[in-house]
Structure 1
Amino acid sequence: MRNKRGQAAMEFLMTYGWAILAAIIAIGVLAYFGVFSPGQYVGSSAVVTAPWYANAWNIDTTNVNLELQNNGGETLTIHDVSVDPSDGATGCTNTGLVGAVNSSGSQIVNVACAGMTSGSTFRGDITITYSRPSSGLNLTSTGSITDTVR
Structure 2
Amino acid sequence: MGKGNRLPALKGQAAMEFLMTYGWALLIVVLVAAVVFLVVRPAGLVGESKVSFSGIDVTRFGVDSANDVLLMEIQNIRSTRVNVTAIYVESATGTQIAKTDKAIELASGKRSTGFINATLPVSVETGESYAYRVFIEYYYSDLGPTNKLNSTGTLSGTAS
TM-score, normalised on structure 2? 0.64
Aligned partner of 1:111: which letter? A
The correspondence of residues 109-128 of structure 1 with structure 2, limited to 5 A, is 109-115=116-122, 116-128=124-136
Tell me the residue number matched to 1:50: 54
- Kindly state the Cα deviation for residue 91 of structure 1 after the two structures are TM-superposed: 3.5
* Structure 2: stretches of 5+ with no match in the other structure: 1-24
Per-residue CA deviation, residues 121-148 of structure 1 (Å, 9 max, x unaligned), is 1101010100002323111110000010
CA RMSD of aligned residues (A): 3.1
**Which has more helix, going by share of residues?**
2
Rounded to whole Å, the distance in 2 between the matches of 1:85 and 1:117 is: 16
Which of 69, 81, 84 is the matching residue for 1:75? 81
Q: Is the 8 A contact 2:86 2:99 kept in 1?
A: no
Rounded to whole Å, the distance in 2 between the matches of 1:135 and 1:99 is: 16
The correspondence of residues 1-150 of structure 1 with structure 2, limited to 5 A, is 37-39=40-42, 40-61=44-65, 62-86=68-92, 91-94=97-100, 97-107=102-112, 108-115=115-122, 116-136=124-144, 137-150=147-160
How many residue pairs are counted as aligned between the two chains? 127
Aligned partner of 2:119: which letter? A
Closer, same or farther: CA 81–35 of 1 in aligned 2, 3 Å: closer
TM-score, normalised on structure 1? 0.68
Q: Is the 8 A contact 1:52 1:72 kept in 2?
A: yes
* Structure 1: stretches of 5+ with no match in the other structure: 1-19
- Kindly state the Cα deviation for residue 105 of structure 1 after the two structures are TM-superposed: 0.6
Give the share of equivalent positions with the same residue, in percent. Answer: 18
Aligned partner of 1:113: which letter? L
Q: Is the 8 A contact 1:47 1:54 kept in 2?
A: no
Per-residue CA deviation, residues 69-111 of structure 1 (Å, 9 max, x unaligned), is 1110111000001110216x9742327x432111111113211
SS at match of 2:75: strand
Rounded to whole Å, the distance in 1 between the matches of 2:82 and 2:37 is: 45
